[in-house]
Structure 1
């Protein structure tokens, strides 16, 4: 089913397949909006669950079922901000995954070379992450949402981040330019432009 409005109406009528498809289409958006406001995964997961619960509660009352993505993004934002207000805490977190080597049959020389390459890659990833952390909150939130999969529409992004739809592209361009400058200032190489 391709029409989002029809999918919402089918889910409201009890079609489990339609609900599953809605979830599949929009779970990345809900997660990225929640995670853009919250520093840890457990709070973001709670917000995601609450957002989907709210949709289940309001599914039959949506005024514009075809805009369910925007509704979900906006609801996720509101729920995340509620958690931020009520928790009164902030925890820095790094998304950089650390790589480990398994013990195997490769030669010690090859293991040393791979470890050096992995160390260089980790260092580059950390430098990019540090540059990302220097961006203003608005840029970090927008860039996090933009990399969600499937990629949300600008209307959904705008609803989730409380932006005007027409400002998403220009803000994105400014944020990416600033990120590129911060990365270049660190002398990071091997980053595609």
Structure 2
């Protein structure tokens, strides 16, 4: 079931990163479509869309009326496009040819000419009609959704669509539909937003995120506070200098995660599983944590400071902590 804007906004404000992911999925092509309508270049439009969502994440608390989230995003996008023009007065828009490896130079040129032809047709429309037309064809947005996003009535949306269809020939409309659909944003765009260096210090607080999945993103300097991450999975992630406080990570799984200079305190980590973990840099501290039953497999634990933690049943590379401590003590070394 799709969450309403009010629900999404409330969850994002509480630090729920999955809710922000849903928000991007819901509005990505709308923001991108508006940027393309104003700039006429897919690549520049994608850059602008990324900028919009990064800034949006940091400014959502300023939005007073959740039901106006869409129209607020439209206003942010419009301002971002104006800023782009001001910063690039001498820049001539030109499509960059991102040719697939198996595509010939001739095919790439034809594709560029096709894009230019589509833009030339769209550019014959007024900006307000062009925006409605692009949104309608880029991701099958309905008239009501377009109206809510632009802050206009459904009748106004339908009127502008009729005007565009009258001005553009049937064959050209088909070409516009095909080209916009081929160039709409996908999951890769969402990853680019989350990998933006300005997103790495995001704060995650007071959230139930049990069984969440985090894969191939940068979460360095993230601050996790009072969150339920039970049974969550972290895979191929940079979490260096992250802080975990008062977290339930029971049965969580960390696979190929960079945990450098991390601070973990008051966390429930019973049954957690760490595999191929790199711990380096300054001391990584685990303080007042329940590590009972936790498993470390093929991990570098040479720089770990464990203080006042429950470690019963903890195993390292298949060997229990009790056996390791017994062997350590028999060797004549006393733990500090």
**Residues 131-142 of structure 1 correspond to what in structure 2 (within 5 A)?**
131-142=121-132
Match of 1:155 in 2: 147
State how far apart, in whole Å, the 2-side matches of 1:66 and 1:93 are. Answer: 37
1:30 counterpart SS class: helix
Match of 2:10 in 1: 9
Question: Aligned in 2, Cα 1:126/1:151: closer, same or farther, shift over 3 Å?
Answer: closer
In terms of Rg, which structure is larger? Answer: 2
State how far apart, in whole Å, the 2-side matches of 1:68 and 1:34 are. Answer: 17
Match of 1:173 in 2: 162
Question: Deviation at 1:37?
Answer: 1.0
Check the 8 A contact 1:28/1:150 in 2, yes or no: no
TM-score, L = length of structure 2:
0.41
Larger strand fraction of residues: 2
User: Structure 1: which 5+ runs fail to align?
Assistant: 104-117
State how far apart, in whole Å, the 2-side matches of 1:84 and 1:102 are. Answer: 32
Match of 1:114 in 2: none
Match of 2:206 in 1: none
Q: What do you get for the CA RMSD once the two structures are aligned?
A: 4.0
Larger helix fraction of residues: 1
Question: Aligned in 2, Cα 1:65/1:138: closer, same or farther, shift over 3 Å?
Answer: closer
Question: 1:83-122 CA deviation, whole Å, 9 max, x = no partner?
Answer: 1233214635579x99xx989xxxxxxxxxxxxxx9xxx8
1:19 counterpart SS class: helix
User: Structure 2: which 5+ runs fail to align?
Assistant: 178-336
Check the 8 A contact 2:135/2:146 in 1, yes or no: no
Q: Does 1:146 align with 2:147?
A: no
TM-score, L = length of structure 1:
0.66
Aligned length: 169
State how far apart, in whole Å, the 1-side matches of 2:85 and 2:124 are. Answer: 20
Match of 2:69 in 1: 68
Question: Aligned in 2, Cα 1:10/1:127: closer, same or farther, shift over 3 Å?
Answer: closer
1:14 counterpart SS class: coil
Structure showing greater relative contact order (alpha-carbon pairs closer than 8 Å, 6 or more residues apart): 1
